[in-house]
Amino acid sequence: MTEHAVVIAGAGPTGLMLAGELALGGVDVAIVERRASQELAGSRAGGLQSRTIEVLDQRGIADRFLSEGQIAQVGAFASVKLDISDFPTRHPYGLGLWQNHIERILAGWVDELRVPIHRGREVTGFAQDHTGVDVQLSNGESLRAEYLVGCDGGRSVIRKTAGIEFPGWDPTMSSLIAEVEMTEQPELGVHRTAAGMYAFGKLEYEIRDGQIIYKDGGSIRVMVPEPHVGTTREPTLGDLSAALIAVCGTDYGLRSATSISRFTDMTRQAASYRDRRVLLAGDAAHVHSPVGGQGLNTGVQDAVNLGWKLAQVVGRTSPESLLDTYHAERHPITARVLRTTMAQVALLRTDERTRALGDIVTELLGMDEPRRTFAARMSGLDIHYDLGAGHPLLGRRMPDLDLVTANGPLRVFTLLHHARPVLLELGESGDFDIAPWADRVQSIDAEYHGTWELPALGVVPAPTAVLIRPDGYVAWVGERSHSGLVDALTRWFGAADAA
Ligand SMILES: Cc1cc2nc3c(=O)[nH]c(=O)nc-3n(C[C@H](O)[C@H](O)[C@H](O)COP(=O)(O)OP(=O)(O)OC[C@H]3O[C@@H](n4cnc5c(N)ncnc54)[C@H](O)[C@@H]3O)c2cc1C
């Protein structure tokens, strides 16, 4: 039986990101993917939030995405645009880029990191014991792993086989989304009518001065509500035509479709992200409406939170209990994403009373404080893991500061390219002997002369030292002393004698 330290089920955005993170952590990891190639039916996610771009920048790969997509103020809450151009980040924008491109670029990175992907095979089940997991594949083979991570999407076999509950809310709406050929040209853009919200667009577009300019020709992207919620069979061209006629009065001479799929606002979250040696991430752990564009981004953030922790546990520098912090940190963050998304679904209903409520929300979000709060939330820049009381940086993302070191200028994110923790010493806080952790934690002396400003929070007191986790979140803040640092190093990166 082939053995790996970690097997990931699913090479979607979450599985690919996790594989990259584990490979950087020196883990023998393999992916099992049902699809024969990375090709994706339908365009699905339309882009990346600011924090996701930052996370990719932390690994030195953001430019690969930026060079292919459209940088723009794409953030919105219930269709109310949220401008983040004044936010203190190197990426004060979102990126328009279809999921098939995001996956292709991630797969290229994972390939460079030499992660094997067993394509055209499904994980059909698994059995775990106290030393590992036997992973059964659809071709009759098995893989043995110390850990199995289910990144296998909303209908996750891993979640179901593990018997992990998936509580939440049944759908209240259902829409078809398709890429089609039509003989007539519908009016492109989003339309809100009493019959519901529908939209026409193109796969090829440019964003100029905040406006989407669709390219001439090419397939049309359609989104149209279905009359009934709860249909489970695969949608057909006939269903799409009927839905268009019901809402628009015509199907615009619908001729053919390269993809037709359905999405709903079903909202569910795994009760636990871990069952002993089995973990869940991405859509396998949470599903919700695509409104607000949070799903792919949330999955990538799950992967970046889990990757280094699992790498340390597999590498025996940290105890297994470190894995419990994955659920403890990510479950509440995503629970809030789910609530925020449900609120948007409700606000996008097209009856007059909801529209009146929507007008009030639009007015409120036009004010600076609510705009900053919601823009930080929707862009992922306000993620705050509860690491206890203390300096405002604790548990928040480390800003990508321009540092000055004895060797010249240095960006903080450059220090994170290899997914290794960093102790950044910025002042005179006395000597600290990092030697017991020197094999795991980089220690950098630097100067920084600017202000410390966090999105939505504003300026915070300058620390004299910070301990940064590989996912870019601050694990400890020094204010003229090293008090608490040994505890933080031990808690996050293992005991002094663990290596
Ligand atoms: C219409 C639409 C628009 C969206 N827009 C956005 C957006 O703008 N922004 C955003 O952030 N998100 C958006 N999303 C959500 C986003 O597409 C998902 O959240 C994202 O794809 C989740 O990634 P994942 O890797 O967790 O799961 P998936 O992308 O579902 O990947 C799961 C992978 O596992 C494979 N797999 C499944 N079962 C098995 C098995 N048993 N064995 C092996 N492999 C298996 C699948 O083939 C697939 O490759 C949208 C979704 C839809 C439907």
- Over residues 308-334, the pLDDT tens digits come to 999 999 999 999 999 999 999 999 999
Residue 407 Cα, ligand 1 centroid: separation in angstroms?
43
Mean pLDDT of the chain: 95
C-alpha closest to that of 75 among 222, 294, 263? 294
Mean pLDDT for 34-44 is: 89
CB atoms closer than 10 angstroms to residue 365: 19
Confidence band of 429 (pLDDT split at 50, 70, 90): low
Burial of 272 per CB tally in 10 Å (0-12, 13-18, 19+):
middle
- Atom of ligand 1 at shortest distance to CA of 40? 49
Residue 69 Cα, ligand 1 centroid: separation in angstroms?
19
| Per-residue pLDDT tens digits for 440-486 | 999 999 999 999 999 999 999 999 999 999 999 999 999 988 999 99
Give the span between the Cα atoms of 19 and 23, in whole angstroms. 6
Question: DSSP secondary-structure letter at 323?
Answer: G
Confidence band of 487 (pLDDT split at 50, 70, 90): very high
pLDDT at res. 456: 93
Side-chain half-sphere of 178: how many Cα atoms within 13 Å? 26
Question: Ligand 1 pocket: which of 34, 177, 330, 338 to mutate (most atoms <8 Å of CB)?
Answer: 34
| Per-residue pLDDT tens digits for 161-200 | 999 999 999 999 999 999 999 999 999 999 988 878 899 9
Burial of 160 per CB tally in 10 Å (0-12, 13-18, 19+):
middle
Give the span between the Cα atoms of 491 and 83, in whole angstroms. 38
Q: Whose CA is nearest to atom 49 of ligand 1?
A: 12
- Given a contact cutoff of 8 angstroms between Cβ atoms, the answer to whether 496 and 436 are in contact is yes
- Given a contact cutoff of 8 angstroms between Cβ atoms, the answer to whether 126 and 278 are in contact is yes
- Atom of ligand 1 at shortest distance to CA of 156? 38
Residue 323 Cα, ligand 1 centroid: separation in angstroms?
23
Q: Whose CA is nearest to atom 42 of ligand 1?
A: 122
pTM over 0.85: yes
- Given a contact cutoff of 8 angstroms between Cβ atoms, the answer to whether 247 and 198 are in contact is yes
- Atom of ligand 1 at shortest distance to CA of 287? 19
- Given a contact cutoff of 8 angstroms between Cβ atoms, the answer to whether 134 and 126 are in contact is yes
- Given a contact cutoff of 8 angstroms between Cβ atoms, the answer to whether 382 and 376 are in contact is yes
Q: Whose CA is nearest to atom 50 of ligand 1?
A: 45
- Given a contact cutoff of 8 angstroms between Cβ atoms, the answer to whether 308 and 419 are in contact is yes
Residue 129 Cα, ligand 1 centroid: separation in angstroms?
29
pLDDT at res. 499: 67
Task: Give the whole-number percent of the chain exceeding pLDDT 90.
Answer: 89
Does residue 120 surpass a pLDDT of 70? yes
pLDDT at res. 389: 94
pLDDT at res. 205: 85
pLDDT at res. 430: 61
Instruction: Flag the least confident range among 33-42, 268-277, 381-390, 398-407.
Output: 33-42
Q: Whose CA is nearest to atom 15 of ligand 1?
A: 295
| Per-residue pLDDT tens digits for 221-251 | 999 999 899 888 999 999 999 999 999 999 9
Torsion (CA) 481, 484, 490, 495 in degrees, nearest 10: 70
pLDDT at res. 432: 85
Q: Whose CA is nearest to atom 5 of ligand 1?
A: 45
Give the span between the Cα atoms of 153 and 405, in whole angstroms. 44
Question: Ligand 1 pocket: which of 16, 53, 98, 99 to mutate (most atoms <8 Å of CB)?
Answer: 99
Angle between helix axes 368-378 and 324-347 (nearest 10 degrees) is 130
Mean pLDDT for 201-215 is: 84
Q: Whose CA is nearest to atom 2 of ligand 1?
A: 44
Q: Whose CA is nearest to atom 21 of ligand 1?
A: 296
Question: Ligand 1 pocket: which of 8, 31, 38, 44 to mutate (most atoms <8 Å of CB)?
Answer: 44
DSSP 329-381: HHHHHHHHHHHHHHHHHHHT--SHHHHHHHHHHHHHHTSHHHHHHHHHHHTTT
* Coil, helix or strand at residue 309: helix
The partner residues of 478 in beta bridges, in order of sequence, read: 465
Question: DSSP secondary-structure letter at 326?
Answer: H
Side-chain half-sphere of 310: how many Cα atoms within 13 Å? 34
Ligand 1 pocket by Cβ (under 6 Å): 9-15, 32-35, 44-47, 99, 122-123, 151-153, 157, 177, 263, 282-283, 290, 293-297, 299
